[in-house]
């Protein structure tokens, strides 16, 4: 199994290209289920999760071409993906595939909208909390689906098709908003979605749907109004830059006292992260072509932060900020309000010398002067990249095991960091 070895202590200087957003690319690929015409996506990141979703969508009969080659053919790589769902070959998404990636559950809405039925495995346990799907099911029921749970599968039927409805979410959910939106675009009549997630990735999906012929108002806001259409056509769409990858590399630069240009990054998508980094004493500036991040020698200042839905500080940057704060000159407090069990990185950061105490949903991070390298274990996607951030500043060698977590969400991480002067190597086998 691959490992990543980091020899800490180097300042990062140079440029890092930000890839397309994983959390936009995945739902955009799923959108292709809604139309018999070709959806062409560009700026698709080359990630393990994208490859897994290709397999899931192929199982439903979608023809997928990436850079002119089909998955499995030699030389397939590239960031332009053509997806054509001329016919849906299967409306079942099996456990073996869905259990490996939670977002694949999101095929439920489009399959139901296009075919009037879907049988999708419940996603099952997840390392960062219970993550139920009750709000997804509520939205489908409001749109007229009958739902049963049979043998671990959600079986949804809408024999006469879906019809527009008023959907109000009690809690903000990215996945449930995607589900409601993707189903409502083909439902008969109007749908009002209130307390919708307003994450930039939802806006990106909505804009793509509009290019395909959907009628949606209120894009980028918490209230979405959809007027159903009978069919959707094809479109070409470029995936937005990954704001979580942006925030992550910004913290790598801040941690090492570096000076890095994050190419293609969109500052408007990470306003809350930028605010916190500035409070921490890091210079963050939107410049032509991206975002420049610098820290000139001064100490890192401690911060108090709470994760919350967009536009607040994202839970997907919480572990990375914690790593950064391990070396601040004082105590920081980070409260996690989205996922109850998202502190698994704490024990691993402690192995590098971090001083972190958990008080319920809040972590108190007492800054230390020095971290020292050690073997550590990646536990989930964002937790594992927090170990990279700490490892970049730790004296000596840090080896991160189970890097398949990183490969799910970070494209060529070691190449991007090495190009800026970090000593990061992938040890294969
Ligand atoms: C998405 C992101 C993930 C991010 C998360 C929060 C993708 C592929 N994943 O995950 O990276 O960390 O948003 O920004 O885009 N909930 C319910 N019932 C439901 C659905 C959710 O109670 O039916 C709860 C969850 O347990 C959680 C909260 O709502 O406490 C938010 O979860 P949600 O926004 O749905 O996360 P995901 O869409 O799974």
37/87 Cα distance (integer angstroms): 10
Cis peptide before 311 (omega within 30 of 0): yes
pLDDT score of 357: 98
216/224 Cα distance (integer angstroms): 7
The best mutation among 132, 136, 175, 320 to test binding of ligand 1, ranked by most ligand atoms within 8 Å of the C-beta, falls on 175
**Gyration radius of the chain over CA positions:** 22
The best mutation among 31, 140, 173, 244 to test binding of ligand 1, ranked by most ligand atoms within 8 Å of the C-beta, falls on 173
Nearest CA to ligand 1 atom 35: 173
129 pocket-lining for ligand 1 (C-beta < 6 Å): yes
Percent of the chain whose pLDDT exceeds 70: 96
Q: Is there a catalytic annotation at residue 126? A: yes
Q: What is the band of 89 on the pLDDT scale with cuts at 50, 70, 90?
A: very high
| Tens digit of each residue's pLDDT (9 = 90 or more) over 181-199 | 999 999 999 999 999 999 9
42/63 Cα distance (integer angstroms): 16
Nearest CA to ligand 1 atom 17: 132
383 pocket-lining for ligand 1 (C-beta < 6 Å): no
| Tens digit of each residue's pLDDT (9 = 90 or more) over 354-376 | 999 999 999 999 999 999 999 99
Nearest CA to ligand 1 atom 38: 175
pLDDT score of 132: 87
Nearest CA to ligand 1 atom 24: 131
Q: Where are the beta strands (DSSP E) in 279-354?
A: 283-287, 290-294, 304-306, 331-335
Distances (CA, A) of 292 to 210, 258, 301: 33, 10, 19
Q: What is the band of 322 on the pLDDT scale with cuts at 50, 70, 90?
A: very high
300/279 Cα distance (integer angstroms): 9
Q: What is the pTM of this model?
A: 0.95
Collapse the DSSP code of 257 into the 3-class scheme (helix H, G, I; strand E, B; otherwise coil) and give the result.
coil
| Tens digit of each residue's pLDDT (9 = 90 or more) over 410-427 | 998 999 999 999 999 999
More confident residue, 162 or 381: 162
106 pocket-lining for ligand 1 (C-beta < 6 Å): no
Mean predicted lDDT score pLDDT of the chain: 93
Residue 75 pLDDT greater than 50, yes or no: no
């Amino acid at each position: 199994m691959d490992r990543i070895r980091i020899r800490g202590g180097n300042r990062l200087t140079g440029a890092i290209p930000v890839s397309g957003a994983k959390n936009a690319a995945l739902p955009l690929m799923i959108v292709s289920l809604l139309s018999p015409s070709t959806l062409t996506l560009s700026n698709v990141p080359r990630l393990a999760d994208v490859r897994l979703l290709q397999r899931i969508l192929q199982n439903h009969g979608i023809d997928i071409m990436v850079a002119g080659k089909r998955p499995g053919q030699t030389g397939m790589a590239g960031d332009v993906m053509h997806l054509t769902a001329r016919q849906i070959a299967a409306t079942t998404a099996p456990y073996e595939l869905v259990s490996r990636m939670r977002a694949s559950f999101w095929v439920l809405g489009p399959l139901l909208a296009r075919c009037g039925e879907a049988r999708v495995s419940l996603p099952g346990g997840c390392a960062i909390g219970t993550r139920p799907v009750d709000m997804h099911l509520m939205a489908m029921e409001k749109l007229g689906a009958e739902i049963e749970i049979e043998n671990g599968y959600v079986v949804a039927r809408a024999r006469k098709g879906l019809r527009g409805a008023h959907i109000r979410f009690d809690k903000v959910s990215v996945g449930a908003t995607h589900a409601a939106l993707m189903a409502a675009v083909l439902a008969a009549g109007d749908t009002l979605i209130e307390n919708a997630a307003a994450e930039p990735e939802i806006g990106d999906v909505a804009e793509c749907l509009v290019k395909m012929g959907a009628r949606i108002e209120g894009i980028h806001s918490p209230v979405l109004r959809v007027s159903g259409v009978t069919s959707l056509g094809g479109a070409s769409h470029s995936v937005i830059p990954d704001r979580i990858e942006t925030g992550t590399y910004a913290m790598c630069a801040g941690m090492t006292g570096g000076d890095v240009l994050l190419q293609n990054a969109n500052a408007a998508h990470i306003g809350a992260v930028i605010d916190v980094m500035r409070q921490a004493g890091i210079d963050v500036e939107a410049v032509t072509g991206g975002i420049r991040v610098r820290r000139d020698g001064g100490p890192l200042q401690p911060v108090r932060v709470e994760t919350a839905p967009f536009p607040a500080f994202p839970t997907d940057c919480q572990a990375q900020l914690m790593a950064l704060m391990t070396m601040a000159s004082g105590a920081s407090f980070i409260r996690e309000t989205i996922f109850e069990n998202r502190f698994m990185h704490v024990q691993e950061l402690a192995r590098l010398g971090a001083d972190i105490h958990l008080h319920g949903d809040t972590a108190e991070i007492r800054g230390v002067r020095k971290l020292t390298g050690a073997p550590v274990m990646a536990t989930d996607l964002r937790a594992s990249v927090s170990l990279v951030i700490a490892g970049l500043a730790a004296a000596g060698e840090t080896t991160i095991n189970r890097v398949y977590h990183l490969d799910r969400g970070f494209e060529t991480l070691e190449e991007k960091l090495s190009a800026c002067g970090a000593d990061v190597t992938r040890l294969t086998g």
